[in-house]
Chains A and B, each alone.
Chain A
Amino acid sequence: MSQITVDISDMRVSASPDDLIVTYALGSCIAVIVHDPKRKVGGMIHYMLPLSEIAPEKAKDKPAMFADTGIPELFRTMYGMGCDKKDLVVKVAGGGALYDDKGLFSIGKRNYTVLRKMFWKAGVIIAAEDVGGAKSRTARLWVGDGRCTIASQGEEVPL
């Protein structure tokens, strides 16, 4: 088994059933985890910010930094590997927040809102999600069987 680590503002896809895709320290960032059980292909993006309009040049160089450029890129890559949209199992994790009564620091919420809008428009259904809260998460996806876990504050649970 080899482990593939997805950095912040990065995206990785694998068609090797032995691979484990993992991303660490999801705070307000969001991981979209996509798996095709038929073809045994898995993919994950760890995006940092909602909209690329704040830095269009950066988005060309690093589309996975933003939800609006990164998520379509992830799906395109999966399709490029022969996946069919109707077979894809999509899970979401992250989008956490600090204790912030006044909502001053709402990057996590904005990250999640943009994702929901995009999925609604594209007709993508979220099979499972673990979002929000004042916690940092680690997300894992086993490419072979599509198993997913979320680890946070010393506990790891299936997603």
Chain B
Amino acid sequence: MTPVSEILAHVDRLPAFPTSAIQLSGLLRDERAGAPEVEKVVRPDPSLTANLLRMANSSYFSPRSRAETVRQAVALLGMKRTFELAVGAALARMIPARLPGYDIDAKSFWLHCVAVAVLSERLAKETRAASPDLLFTAGLLHDVGKLAIATFVAGAAPEILVKARAGTDFVTAEREVLGVDHCEIGARVAETWKLPPAVSWAARWHHQPTAAPEGVNRTLVDLVHAADSLAISLGLGNDVGEMARTVDPGVWLRLGLQVRRMERVAGESLESVRGLAQALEAGRENPS
């Protein structure tokens, strides 16, 4: 068995999150920052600029207007949205062609990230929950731990799969076999990359929101949990073990969810999810 310390050391060796995205995270906290400051950060990075504009012009983010420049994108979408897009654009470049332990390729993994981001926002609207800050980004990055832990899961796959087939949920099987799961690792990755707390909360608690301690935005982790369950259920980017997951009943109570409402959200979101995933997939394939 791989010692946990070795897995954690691997997290520290992950490629750095692009400086531009981290700088944008800093700008978010600065009330005086505006379009010129964002432009200064994004423009020197041509691939980020291209991806950001591609996303900004997708029908999900701006169904009516078009942005030709970074400055226009910020004017159109606002700072928070621009940051969310920049993180998305940055993440898209970091996904390897295949995540071995999860038996999923980059395209499906990415589809899943985008689906959870979009469905989290749609569910917030449907349940009239006050939409938490950076919900889209938190949804997009909820499985970021898988990027770091995939090779270790691959090494232990036979053992993990035996447990999953016997009825243990996959994330518990990960923990039992590796001593750590993709949620814990995800939170650590988010912290290493200096991403906002919303991202690390969603990564850490998306499988068991009810267990999240005081201080964590519960609505945020609830929405990401529900969106993740829905995305997996609909087959939007399923990996080898994700169907073997436990639904947290507390989430349903707190959000007032009903299966018909979930179905409506699913029906309405499929096109947006596909459109946005494709816009970004193009950026992943041609990172220039």
Contacts and interface: CB of A to CB of B under 8 A. Distances in A.
B39 interface: no
B234 A65 contact: no
A28 interface: yes
Contacts of B235: 8, 24-29, 136
A96 B247 CA distance: 14
A105 B234 contact: no
Given A24-B235, A55-B264, A97-B233, 17 more contacts: A8-B234, A25-B236, A27-B232, A28-B233, A28-B235, A48-B270, A49-B267, A54-B260, A54-B264, A98-B246, A100-B246, A104-B249, A104-B257, A105-B247, A107-B233, A134-B169, A136-B238
A8 B262 contact: no
Interface in B251-288: 252, 257, 259-260, 262-264, 266-268, 270
A101 B263 contact: no
Contact of B243 (A8, A101, A136): A136
B264 A105 contact: no
Interface residues of B, number: 35
Contact of A107 (B169, B243, B262): B262
Contacts of B234: 8, 27-29, 48, 107
A153 interface: yes
B272 to A, nearest CB: 13
B237 A48 contact: no
Interface residues of A, number: 33
Interface of A: 8-9, 24-29, 48-50, 54-55, 58, 65, 96-102, 104-108, 110, 134-136, 153-154
A134 B237 CA distance: 15
Given A104-B249, A154-B103, A154-B161, A136 B242 contact: yes
A154 B264 CA distance: 32
Interface in B198-232: 229, 232
A110 B259 contact: yes
A108 B262 CA distance: 12
Nearest to A133: B243
Pick from A28, A55, A97, A104 the residue with the most CB of B within 10 Å: A104
Contact of B244 (A99, A104, A105): A99
Contact of A50 (B165, B245, B263): B263
Contacts of B236: 8, 25
A58 B270 CA distance: 11
Contacts of A65: 267, 270
Given A29-B234, A98-B232, A54 B247 contact: no
A49 B230 CA distance: 12
A130 B242 CA distance: 18
Given A24-B235, A48-B234, A54 B263 contact: yes
Contacts of A48: 234, 266-267, 270
29 contacts: A8-B234, A9-B270, A25-B108, A25-B235, A27-B234, A28-B233, A28-B234, A28-B235, A48-B234, A48-B266, A49-B263, A49-B266, A58-B268, A97-B233, A98-B246, A98-B247, A99-B169, A99-B246, A100-B246, A104-B252, A105-B262, A106-B259, A107-B233, A134-B167, A134-B169, A134-B244, A135-B243, A135-B244, A136-B238
